[in-house]
Structure 1
Amino acid sequence: MTDVKVLLIDDEARYTDALARRLGRRGLSVATADGGAQALEALSENPVDVALLDMKMAGMDGIKTLSAIKRQHPEVEVVMLTAHADTDIVISSLAMGAFDYLLKPADLEELVRKIEDAAMRKRSNSK
């Protein structure tokens, strides 16, 4: 799938930069945000198909950010990324409208497939 716009939201700059480069080499258009507030601002200025959202961030955590994204930009599909497999948080995020979740560090091929599946769902819902 081409022309997929992704917003990578994570407060770990080295991880974000490395993953953004790797996804960019796969043909995805990737923007980054270092936290929830910056992500909401970025989404208001430049719509995306899929947000990759870290669960554990300083300030606005992943659950609060997911809630705000779904309230302000319900068309954006969100894939949650977490280094901590907390079943309750995963279930909560899916109930709040997250498309799916992956454990960090996610396999790049699996992550790209999730992004493409989420983008296809977004596009089919916009028709």
Structure 2
Amino acid sequence: MSRARAVGMLLLATTFTVGALGGMAVEEAMGLDWFDFLDEDATPSEDRLFAGIELTAEQRARIDAIRERREDRLEAYWDSRLPEIQRVVDHSYDEMRAVLAPDARAEFDRRVRELRARAPSDRD
């Protein structure tokens, strides 16, 4: 296996790992169960908190507002963590780059620039 191919695979694995860890952290923080979303008949897990509890329209509206504020706070929290995640990724790129022969570094740098250019600049 060529050195460039090995670096490419390592880069891909690092990107996947950072993404997976970030997703798991969000899932844990929000108490999500993704399998509930796959099952159309499933009730969202948080709605189970109120199963059998009669709520007035006002109570439901207030609970919905609380949920909305929580989503806003969690989104802000994760947005604030993105620079830290990017530093981790950048550090790993620096370590990978240091392993390469000088002539391979330019190609690696070009590929990292391409990868970053394809990444969304802000959340949708």
Regarding TM over 0.5, the answer is no
* Greater percentage in strand: 1
If you compute each CA radius of gyration, which structure gives the higher value, 1 or 2?
A: 2
TM-score where L is the length of structure 2 = 0.26
* Greater percentage in helix: 2
TM-score where L is the length of structure 1 = 0.25
